[in-house]
Amino acid sequence: MGILDSKIPKGPLADKWTKHKNTINLVNPANKRNIDVIVVGTGLAGGSAAATLAELGYNVKTFCYQDSPRRAHSIAAQGGINAAKNYQGDGDSNYRLFYDTVKGGDYRSREGNVYRLAEVSGNIIDQCVAQGVPFAREYGGLLDNRSFGGVLVSRTFYAKGQTGQQLLLGAYSAMNRQINRGKIKPYNRHEMLDIVIVDGKARGIIARNLVTGEIERHSAHAVVIASGGYGNVFFLSTNAMGSNVTASWKIHKKGAYFANPCYTQIHPTCIPVSGDHQSKLTLMSESLRNDGRIWVPKKKEDAERLRSGKLKPTEIVEEDRDYYLERRYPAFGNLVPRDVASRAAKERCDAGYGVNKTGEAVFLDFGAAFMRYGREEANTQHLDNPSEEKIKELGKAVVEAKYGNLFQMYEKIVDQNPYETPMMIYPAVHYTMGGIWVDYNLETTIPGCFAAGEANFSDHGANRLGASALMQGLADGYFVLPYTIGNYLADDISTGKISTETAEFEAAEQEVRARLEKLINTKGTKSVDNFHKRLGKIMWNKVGMSRNAPDLKDAISEIQALREEFWNDVKIPGTANEMNSELEKAGRVADFLELGELFAKDALHREESCGGHFREEYQTEEGEAMRDDENFMYVAAWEYTGKPADAILHKEQLEYENIQVKTRSYK
């Protein structure tokens, strides 16, 4: 076991990033023209990094498995992006955003990185407005803000319910400008299958052309992994079906430590599971918790009648409703952090108060918001004695303007009108706070290999605040990595072009080909999805919202057995030398079958509850997470040694010099 050096600069917190930028090495503009950088993943983190690096003068190659960067999963982020601009005048500041993020992460995030994130957040908004991102505006033309879970201020900038899509289009337009200049060479429908290390440094990747099946070698002076998170290890998640861990897992197996894999976020506002036929889950934006009130019936008999269809939610009167978040957490109410809201929903449903046929759903009700907004609108329009129906009509119009596309999406999926009957929601796997370990420069434990966005672990601790994913992705891509990667590349200005005709590239390519051939030649009887679904059930049932030692040990054994069965009985039609979507999926599921074991191993070793990691053995009398700061105030970074079971733990101790660590309370 080793102790990791995060390379956080010394000195006052507010000065660290400025001092670091002023003292790290730079690359002369003329020399940047001779340096190549590979960026794997073209979502918000990868797209913004590629565009900025190319703008600086580097030669950039981008890789994504989609047919266009516009299809990156960043597009699915709905609710908004945080920034500490204090436009509402409600007391926000860089420090407040920093504090909320560290507290929201249950004091398991790195102080220096988080303050930098808060510090550059305002620049992101300015950048995106300049790109033409259509953020919502108030009547006077100023940018509007709304609040999100875990905070007491309004700092979230948004574009209706499609913020991720609009921000991604901004990054994509910046990429396109560089593609037209010849500074970015895009490789769409390509999947990275290995990293190539020469003399201890990352010098390129092996990629598969997903259209032709051809294996390709690509060299560079540095490699950036920005391929997102690993939530699809659960099979059912809010992630796009193609989202995977392959790029991160390949560099992990070549020396990049994997940090905190058990820190996975369960999002509280997802459309509930409807049956075994589903291949993914749909997220309803957390922004809905601003105006929607979450409740279940107070009486179990009412819940039973709801489940059997004998009672409608609108027939339950106000005094028979349990607004349990408002009851348990009066200070934050429906805007408690995601992990708190998710566990509270599970607790109510487990107690028998669930409201859908499966008993795994709670209501998200906008009735009060319709009336509140309606009265405001009636006053604005100077309507005298408007009827209840008129007030409700006016209120619905206001809510539609804020969340209309989300309500429309819900109605299409569930076939219920959320303007007339409360939405039903239930927690689901969403975001992964764990990921590749990086230092302050976003460099992994492989020299020359960097990780940005959700692919790294660095900013969110054990739980991510809502609207902070887009913030971290764009902070890393636009304002952090373009500075810090120069510190590494300054030593490469005289290296020259990296050749792909070397023994290292040959060995990596042959390793990839052998793995693909092994998959194709298994000639088993079960489909790839069969194994993925079975893995997902193990993960959800035993490594999901709550965990305990016996279940985790069982999960490890079951995943090991499932992995062995996969390699002996998976059925993949076709060949490796053609377009073959089943082969693509098989490679990704093979990686999930290894990650899943490390995930459970990490959860078993962390004998405490914190944020999204909830061990049933470690909870307060009220059922809240019980941290063990004395023994577990560290990042758990795992080194691959041949099998997940044999991974070696390395620790990065977390130190808080500017925050008083205390029990996290939202009451």
If one counts every other C-beta atom within 10 angstroms of the C-beta of residue 363, the result is 23
* Annotated active-site residue in 338, 348, 588, 664: 338
Q: Hunting for tokens 């088993």 — which residue is that?
A: 524
Beta carbons of 111 and 654 less than 8 angstroms apart: yes
If one counts every other C-beta atom within 10 angstroms of the C-beta of residue 241, the result is 13
Adjacency order of strands within the sheet including 59-64:
184-188, 59-64, 36-40, 222-225, 449-451
Task: Write the DSSP assignment of 306-362 as a string of letters.
Answer: HHHTSS-GGGS-GGGEE-HHHHH-TTTGGGS-HHHHHHHHHHHIIIII--STTS--E
Look at phi and psi of residue 538 and say left if phi exceeds 0, alpha if psi is from -120 to 50, else beta: alpha
Residue 306 and residue 160: Cα distance in Å, rounded? 32
Beta carbons of 332 and 151 less than 8 angstroms apart: no
User: How many Å is the Cα radius of gyration of the chain?
Assistant: 25
137 is annotated as an active-site residue: no
Rounded to 10 degrees, the C-alpha dihedral 547/551/557/563 comes to -50
Beta carbons of 231 and 238 less than 8 angstroms apart: yes
With 0-12 CB in 10 A as exposed, 13-18 as middle and 19+ as buried, what is 113? buried
Residue 151 and residue 194: Cα distance in Å, rounded? 41
Residue 590 and residue 595: Cα distance in Å, rounded? 9
Q: By three-state DSSP, how is residue 186 classified?
A: strand
Just list the catalytic residues. 338
